[in-house]
């Protein structure tokens, strides 16, 4: 006895297809193999995405992301101060 993977109905005899929903068990083993492979690939992709998320989150905490705009503003203010100093002379 086993359960239909499509509808979950109990299958008492060794039938090739489910008498409740008509799901074929002949193709089931092959498709479940494919599903397992797809699951493996999806898990790998999920792991890669998690790594990318970790990388992006870790880079967002990098001090250079805060220092760069502050340095840009400081350089602009220094240039502005230099122009004022030249004009006043």
Q: Which residue bears the tokens 């359960």?
A: 3
Total binding residues toward Zn ion, as defined by CB under 5 A: 8
Segments of 1-89 assigned E as strands? 2-3, 10-11
Does 82 interact with Zn ion (rule: CB under 5 A)?
A: no
Taking CB under 5 A as the binding criterion, the range among 13-21, 30-38, 41-49, 66-74 that sits at the site for Zn ion is: 13-21
Which 14-33 positions form the footprint of Zn ion (CB under 5 A)?
A: 18, 20-21, 23
Q: Does 7 bind Zn ion (CB under 5 A)?
A: yes
Dist CA 29 CA 18 (whole Å): 14
* Under 8 Å between Cβ of 50 and 42: no
Which residues contribute to the site for Zn ion (CB under 5 A)?
A: 4, 6-7, 9, 18, 20-21, 23
């Amino acid at each position: 006895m086993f359960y239909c993977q499509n509808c979950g109905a109990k299958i008492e005899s060794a039938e090739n297809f489910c008498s409740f929903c008509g799901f074929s068990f002949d193709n089931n083993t092959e498709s479940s193999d494919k599903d397992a492979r797809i699951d493996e690939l999806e898990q790998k992709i999920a792991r890669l995405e998690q790594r990318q998320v970790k990388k992006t989150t870790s880079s967002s905490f990098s001090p250079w992301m805060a220092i760069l705009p502050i340095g840009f503003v400081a350089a602009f203010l220094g240039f502005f101060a230099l122009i004022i100093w030249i004009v006043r002379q």
